Structures are given as structure tokens and as C-alpha cells.
Structure 1
């Protein structure tokens, strides 16, 4: 029904458009005729005025023409009035046609809106149709999948039935095994209790053995320390004997050289063998001690190894000596240097360091007088404050 109404409205609009075009043509024709008549009347009045201005000589020749023109003027006026009336009618018809045209435009606009709505509804219906088709295809595919799954489930069901029967058989067997395991469990529990008792006894024995082992290890360690101490003392005694024999053999020559040179130590210094020594009156850092000895024209007391004997002046326990250790961060190579520039020991990261070595990048060496013969070296940070001994050569008289 809506399509028929739409087609009827289209046919009515075409008819109305044709009528409007015919009315417009008539109006244009009448306007043209009126314009021609006006031109003619204007030309007649112009001729008349021209004859009035020309004069009498030419009035006679143009009188006949003017008479004819004057005779035609009333007819022309009547025709112009008729044309003007027709023009008024045409203008009225034009206004009516314009109103009808406006109504038709409004109707056309409403039809365009309805057409747009219909097209939108058509698009929506088309999209819904396409979605429904897609849903249909999906449902068909899902139906196929469900059928396949149903088939698989039925097969699995049959398999599960078979497995169920097998499980029932296995369950019977497991029950029998369970009874047997329960019996064996009771036996194992009894064995476990017996083993726990034995374990506790063995743990007590092990504890006693560990304690005995610890005691034996401590005794072994003490005996090893005593052995090392005796060996070191024996070696020291042997070295002392060799040194004393050497001194005894060199004593006449030393006496002769001393008497010849008459060497002596500076005031406030004490002589020991062929060198002079001075103990500091205060405690300070290793660097301060080094600079203090150098300011006196001496150096910190040097020891070539831990067994070398040096005098100890006074009752001070810890004394700086002229040795220091250094580790290079990049290569992990360590050095044991003397203040005189000598390299006493060195090694790499895999080389065994001395027992007294510390983990500082730079450390200084001191000796502890509380240990026998001052032969045990120790290392500490160079900023610690200890006493020190300066060493220098004797001077002549």
C-alpha cells in the first residue's frame, strides 16, 4: 500500500510540474507581447513629439502617418488593457502555482525523509538478514560439532564402561593387597620401633664419639702448636749459634775496625751490633713514624725476615717497623716492600700469603714485644698509633 501511494504521489507531482511549466510559458508570452506594445506606443509618442519639433514644412508629409497612428492608438490601448488584465490573471495564477509549488516541495521533502527512513530500515533489515544467515551457519556448524562430540562421548562412554569393569577387578585385587599390606605394616611398625631404639642408642654413642673426637682434635692442635713452637725455637737456637759463632770469628776484626774508626752513635741513640737505634717518645701513625726517622737522617728499623734479631729499647709492646704490604686491585698481585725500596715477598691471587697478611689494600707491619724474640710480625691499618724505632749507621769521631 505504501508503495502504491508513493507511485501515485510521484505521478501527481509530474502532472503538477507539467501544469506549472505550461503556465510559466503563457506568462512569458504575455510579458513579451506587453513589452512589444509598450515599445510601439513609446515609438509613436516619440514620432509625434519629433513632428511637433520639426516644423510646418514637414508636418504635411507626416500628417497622414500620424493620423493613422493616432487612429491605431485607442485600439492599442484597449489591447494593452486586455493584456494587462491577462497579465494580472497570470500573476494570480503564478502566485497560486508558487504556493502549490511550495506545498509540493514540502511534500517532496517529507517524501525524501520517508524515503531515507525506508532506506535505513531496508539496510537494517538487510543487516539483520545477513546476521541471521551467519547465525544460521554458526548454528549448523555447532550442530555438526555437537553431533561429532556426541559420537565421541558415546565412544568414550563405552570405553569408560570397560575401564569401570577393569577398575572393579583391580579394586578387588587392591583390597586383597591392602589386607596383606596392613599385616606387613604392623610388622614394619614393630621393626621401626626397634630401629628407633637402636637409632637413639647410636646417636648417643655418636655424640660421645664426636665429643671425644673434638677433644682429640684440640689436643692434636695443641701438640702441633707446641711442635711448631719447639721447631721454631730449635731453628732460632741453631741460627743464634751460627750467628754467635760467626760473630766470635768476626769479633777480632770488628774490634780492630772499631778501634781504628772509633765509630759511635749520636746522642740519645743506642748501639746494637753495627747499627744505632732510637725508640720514639710517643705513639703515632706509620707514615708519621717514617717521616720522623727520615727527618733525623735515618729510617724505620728494617727486618729482613721474622727470625732476624733486633734490640728492643724500653718496655713498649707494639712497634712499627719499616715494612708495608700492598695489593693491586686490578691484578690482585700482593707485595711486601721495605722503606728502602727492597721487595721482600710478592705473589699472585693463587699464591699463599704470609700468615700475618690482612685484607686491606695497603697495610703496615709492626712487631709485638709480648711474643718471644720479637720474631712474630703483625699487620694492621697504617692509621693505628704505635711506637717506632729508627735505625741509622754510627758516625765517626
Structure 2
């Protein structure tokens, strides 16, 4: 009888032999799942800081709390894409929508201090994501994007690239192209064409940074 359940301690009756044959695998499976859950949780919290041989990005140096999602493994075998806690993710970027207002120069500086920059919008998909997110977050506010002009009508992004008119999303009859309105905001309205040139006064802001892959 003992040869049917050699791993069980002590002397087992036939009924106990049968129970051992099906209980142990389930106990093992539950234990394994619990260990796996703990391991994954640790990975989600710690992965941004485990690659100590890498040069940390400015974003990594500024934040200690992150949220990560599983991503298609990239070069170096990385499989997680991470953003600071409280930031939104779209494709390979992280976005911060501010709760306070600043002037243009202060907004630009604030993003830089967080290891990011005022958002540079490169596609209709990105613009659509921001428009939908702003609609859910707060209605009727203006958010600075990283577009401004030194001379009337000569729009340039904060990364020094000129505006691509095929990826411009001005409101009807905008931009005004007047000397007083040299900064650009997104109006938090549910239409994709929602840019407007404005006075460089106090507004909310959207910061952008590349997501960290680990």
C-alpha cells in the first residue's frame, strides 16, 4: 500500500492514500500560483530600478513610484513598459496632465524639471488620445502643448522641429497669427481639431516623456 503514496508521511490507510494522490498536486499548484503572484508584484514595483548597469533617464531620476504593463520584448530582452505613477501612457510615451496653472516659460521649465518636456504631438492618433483623455479629466480647460512661435506664424515645437501642417489640429479660424498670441493650447473639448494660439498667460499643461522599458 505504501508504494502508492511514498511521499506521504507516516502509515496511510487506503482512504488516505487516495486523498494524498489528488490533494498534493492541488496544494503544490496553489502554492506555486501564490509564489508567482508575489514575484510578479515585485517585478512591477521594482523593475524600473533593477537595471543598475543602465544610465538612468532624467525621468527615472525624478520619480520613485511607477506603474508598468507587459510589453512586447524589445532589444536587451526587456518586457515591461513603465510610467511614473499618476501619468498616462500612450504607445511609447508617458503623459502628465497638470492640476495647476503656470505661464508658458514656467510650464516649460516645470516639465523639464520632471525629466520631460511640453508635449510634442506627432500624429492624429496621439492627438486623438489626448483629446479623449482631456475630455474625461476636466472640461473647459486649456492645456499648453509644446508649440510656440518666435515670429508670427512660424510655429516650432520645443524639440526644435517645425510644425508639420499635415499633423496640425487647429480649431476653425485658428491660428489667429497675431503678435500677442505666440503660445498654443489644446482646448479640452470633444473634437480633434482643438488647438488655439493664445496669450502666453497662465494655463494648465501637458508634459511628455519616453516610457521606460525594463
Superposed displacement of residue 343, structure 1: 1.3
Which structure has more relative contact order (CA 8 Å, sep 6+)? It is 2
The count of corresponding residues between Structure 1 and Structure 2 is 130
Local SS of the residue matching 2:108: helix
Residues 285 and 386 of structure 1 are in contact (CA less than 8 Å); yes or no, is this contact kept in structure 2?
yes
| Distance in 2 (alpha carbons) for counterparts of 1:386 and 1:365 | 10
Gaps of 5+ in 1: 1-253, 329-333, 347-353
The 3 A distance-change label for structure 1 pair 322 and 287 is same
The 3 A distance-change label for structure 1 pair 361 and 387 is closer
| Distance in 2 (alpha carbons) for counterparts of 1:306 and 1:272 | 13
**Of Structure 1 and Structure 2, which has the larger fraction of its residues in helix?**
1
* TM-score of the pair, normalised by structure 2: 0.53
Rg larger in structure: 1
Structure-1 residue corresponding to 2:207: 390
RMSD of Structure 2 on Structure 1 (CA) = 2.7
Residues 149 and 183 of structure 2 are in contact (CA less than 8 Å); yes or no, is this contact kept in structure 1?
yes
Superposed displacement of residue 361, structure 1: 5.5
Counterparts of residues 78-157 of structure 1 (less than 5 Å): none
Residues 88 and 95 of structure 2 are in contact (CA less than 8 Å); yes or no, is this contact kept in structure 1?
yes
Local SS of the residue matching 1:297: coil
Residues 144 and 205 of structure 2 are in contact (CA less than 8 Å); yes or no, is this contact kept in structure 1?
yes
Structure-1 residue corresponding to 2:51: none
Gaps of 5+ in 2: 1-70, 166-172
Which aligned runs of 4 or more in structure 1 are off by greater than 4 angstroms? none
The 3 A distance-change label for structure 1 pair 336 and 306 is farther
**Of Structure 1 and Structure 2, which has the larger fraction of its residues in strand?**
2
| Distance in 1 (alpha carbons) for counterparts of 2:72 and 2:123 | 27
* TM-score of the pair, normalised by structure 1: 0.30
Superposed displacement of residue 306, structure 1: 7.0
1:368 aligns with 2:187: yes
